[in-house]
Structure 1
Amino acid sequence: MDASDWLQSHQVAVYAAGVALAVGFGVGLPSAAPLFERAITPVLAVLLYVTFLEIPFTRFRAAFTDARFVGTALAMNFLVVPVVVYGLTRLLPQDPVVRVGVFMVLLTPCVDYVIAFTDLAGGDAEQVTATTPALLVVQFLLLPAYLWLFTGGRAAGAISGGPFVDAFLALIAAPLALAWLTQLWADRSDAGRQWGDAMGLLPVPAMGATLLVVIASQIPRVGDSIGEIAAVVPVYVAFLVVMPLLARLAAGLVRMDAGAARALVFASVTRNSLVVLPLALALPPRYALVPAVVVTQTLVELAGMVALTRLVPERLVPGAPEPIAVPGFAGRG
């Protein structure tokens, strides 16, 4: 077994080690939190670069032209998810800061480790990767509108467009362009191929490092506000239960094959906590608890993903979902 295979087969252990180290630093050395916080954006950019590098760009066009998957993924994340999130947040205390944190993280679909977890579950990882630019652009456009709608405008006015543009350029546009250029280089030279092979070892360590810096930067805040933070955990757990079931129903409605259906499940349930965190950190001081609320979702979601990578292929989507007949609707086969 080579190093790449070993890392793939032990990636959950690597992620767990990253989380454990983060907790150790956060509890034992809380003064280091600002250093970890400054490392979030560069480490996350590296993670996204090596993640994009794993998907052949020659297949992007075919994947992105699958209007059925792209349309269903957009509908799940920007029509169904807001309804579910609004309903679940009725269970939270009337603290606007906590609710803003929950809205920010649950209304934004994941664009990074969703690819890895989809692949682990036997889903169509290329389709998910090709859809992530659309998911990212739409969430950046709609998040301020949803915050205004759900909070009565109190939080939306505190969020400027600058951090969203910066996050898009640093975390999506630049890594995506570099990955594309790297693949062109690898097609034309031995040095490029060697570089690509070396980068192929990094996705799992990069995810572990990202979890380390993100969680270690926020553990002190979580510890200082454990009562408020604990209230959001049942909402996050409920989201992990409800959204896979709704995505499974949607996949049957539009008659997806098993790979696409599994991909839709993960695209609908995983959230963009790592990319949203820099935006949460840019909020005014009165929203200082929001980053901790966001990071708590990461911890809950990672535990849920370990379960879902087994439950989805074995129980929820073992094969192509049975078509669901809806009067007046004719899904394409």
Structure 2
Amino acid sequence: MSGKGSMSREKSDRSISSPVTNDISPPIAGPFKGLSIQDKLLSPFILLAMILGVIIGEFAPNVHNALDTAKFESVSLPIAIGLIVMMWPVLTKVQYETLPAIFSTARLWKHIAISVILNWVIGPFVMLALAWATLPDLPTYRTGVIMVGIARCIAMVVIWNDLAGGDADYCAILVVVNAAFQIVLYSPFSVLFINVIGGNKQQSLHVSYGMVAISVLIYLGIPLLAGIVTRYGIILLAGKDFFTKRFLPIFSPLSLIGLLYTIIVLFAYQGHRIIHNLGPVFRVFVPLILYFVIMWTSTFGLIYHLARREVPQAAHDRVYGYETAVVQAFTAASNNFELAIAVAIAVYGVNSEQALAATIGPLIEVPVLLALTWVALYLRHKLNWVKPSCDLEAPEKVL
């Protein structure tokens, strides 16, 4: 009996000391204590940027025309500049040297499959259903909302993922994959969801692949290339230690500047029209808020559920965890609003209600997803991301 008890205690000790239990969810003193002062002040900064943008749009009537004239192939250059500056530092942090090894793992392909299903099967139909349920009597605004729903993530998701502590490498991969799908699918999805399913027969809708490809190239290709060149240029010239400890702390705040500038431009662009169309605008708020919350919470919950059910043999075999839950949740909930705005303006005109509804998308997405970054950090602290240690027995070779 004593020998059997000794073996039982030994097995229990081995399980508890397994490296699996030490790799997934390190002790966190508090959900927000690791945030920098800059991150903690981001919410009031964004609120001030929104107010400033609305003031500019209302009291500087010519700003709308000035912003609208600065274009390249239906892409707003003022918005493009802000988004490029915003994404550049974040994409500089990605460890591109590790991507070949990541692509060789089965876990990545599982996450790609999940992301593609969420973004190109579930997400567009969720937005379609919400648009019809909440805007049955506003067909033009409904069309703009649907155009936001079929424009999947490529831009601000990298900011939210970075703030919430998600896996930067996985985020970059999923953003690039969804951008490639976007080039192929946005045009046929536009016709399908607006003309066929939506029954919009008054005006034919044609979205060229070239327009979508140019938008994706500008909003993702330029900051991605800039990030790669910056990362390896600085490392080559000054070394990785200088890049990590001295360059990134100075360079990273540029993302905040780009984000605030973009918000000011977006609110200035449609601030006057928003104030003078408050009734329909508040109606458009409803499907957008519901969409962002439903997609984020259901995706985050799905990955957490899969993480709890997972019983890997070793730490490196684990597929699901907090970092990937953040990536998937923000990738599923975010939208490529810049593409939706560009297409709506090109098809229906800059003063159309469709363009106004598309522009409201980022005005809601920014505060809602910013709030969800705080929710993610709180859930990282509150939820148990590790299965009980007795369920995770490591192989003999790692004991």
The alignment's TM-score, normalised by the length of structure 1, stands at 0.84
Deviations 1:101-158 (A, max 9, x none): 1112122232222222223223223311221011112123222222222222557733
The answer to whether the 8 Å contact 1:22/1:211 transfers is yes
Relative to structure 1, the CA distance from residue 60 to residue 76 in structure 2 (aligned partners, 3 Å threshold; closer, same or farther) is: same
The answer to whether the 8 Å contact 1:14/1:205 transfers is no
Shift of 1:9: 3.4
Partner of 1:48: 87
Cα distance in structure 1, aligned partners of 2:204 and 2:146: 11
Partner of 1:327: none
Cα distance in structure 2, aligned partners of 1:265 and 1:178: 26
Is 1:308 aligned to 2:347, yes or no?
A: no
Residue range with higher mean Cα deviation, 203-212 or 270-279: 270-279
Shift of 1:239: 1.0
Structure number with greater Rg is 2
Q: How does 1:204-219 map to 2 (within 5 A)?
A: 204-219=256-271
Cα distance in structure 2, aligned partners of 1:178 and 1:43: 14
2:113 is aligned, of 71, 74, 82, to: 71
The answer to whether the 8 Å contact 1:51/1:112 transfers is no
Q: How does 1:70-149 map to 2 (within 5 A)?
A: 70-91=112-133, 92-149=135-192
Shift of 1:62: 4.3
1:270 is aligned, of 322, 334, 339, to: 334
Is 1:58 aligned to 2:97, yes or no?
A: yes
The answer to whether the 8 Å contact 1:186/1:196 transfers is no
Relative to structure 1, the CA distance from residue 120 to residue 292 in structure 2 (aligned partners, 3 Å threshold; closer, same or farther) is: same
> Residue type of the partner of 1:291?
A
Other structure's SS at 1:189 match: helix
Partner of 2:24: none
Other structure's SS at 1:231 match: helix
Q: Could you say what the CA RMSD is over the residues aligned between the two structures, in angstroms?
A: 2.8
Other structure's SS at 2:253 match: coil
Q: How does 1:271-310 map to 2 (within 5 A)?
A: 271-285=335-349, 288-310=352-374
Cα distance in structure 1, aligned partners of 2:271 and 2:324: 36
Shift of 1:258: 1.9
Residue range with higher mean Cα deviation, 188-197 or 153-162: 188-197
Partner of 1:159: 207
Relative to structure 1, the CA distance from residue 138 to residue 208 in structure 2 (aligned partners, 3 Å threshold; closer, same or farther) is: same
Other structure's SS at 1:283 match: helix
Cα distance in structure 2, aligned partners of 1:312 and 1:199: 25
Cα distance in structure 2, aligned partners of 1:124 and 1:184: 20
The alignment's TM-score, normalised by the length of structure 2, stands at 0.71
Task: Give the length in aligned residue pairs.
Answer: 319
Is 1:10 aligned to 2:52, yes or no?
A: no
> Residue type of the partner of 2:205?
G
> Residue type of the partner of 1:141?
V
Cα distance in structure 1, aligned partners of 2:204 and 2:153: 21
The answer to whether the 8 Å contact 2:80/2:219 transfers is yes
Cα distance in structure 2, aligned partners of 1:117 and 1:247: 15
1:220 is aligned, of 272, 282, 301, to: 272
Relative to structure 1, the CA distance from residue 7 to residue 307 in structure 2 (aligned partners, 3 Å threshold; closer, same or farther) is: closer
Partner of 1:178: 226
Other structure's SS at 1:259 match: helix
Shift of 1:197: 5.8
Is 1:320 aligned to 2:385, yes or no?
A: yes
2:252 is aligned, of 200, 203, 214, to: 200
Deviations 1:227-266 (A, max 9, x none): 3322211111211232123213432347521221122111
Shift of 1:30: 2.4
Cα distance in structure 2, aligned partners of 1:158 and 1:282: 10
Shift of 1:99: 2.2
Cα distance in structure 2, aligned partners of 1:314 and 1:188: 38
Shift of 1:319: 3.7
Relative to structure 1, the CA distance from residue 165 to residue 244 in structure 2 (aligned partners, 3 Å threshold; closer, same or farther) is: closer
Relative to structure 1, the CA distance from residue 141 to residue 233 in structure 2 (aligned partners, 3 Å threshold; closer, same or farther) is: same
Counting aligned pairs with the same residue, the percent is 19
Mark the runs of 5 or more structure 2 residues left unpaired by the alignment. 1-34, 71-77, 311-319, 388-399
> Residue type of the partner of 1:140?
I
Partner of 2:31: none
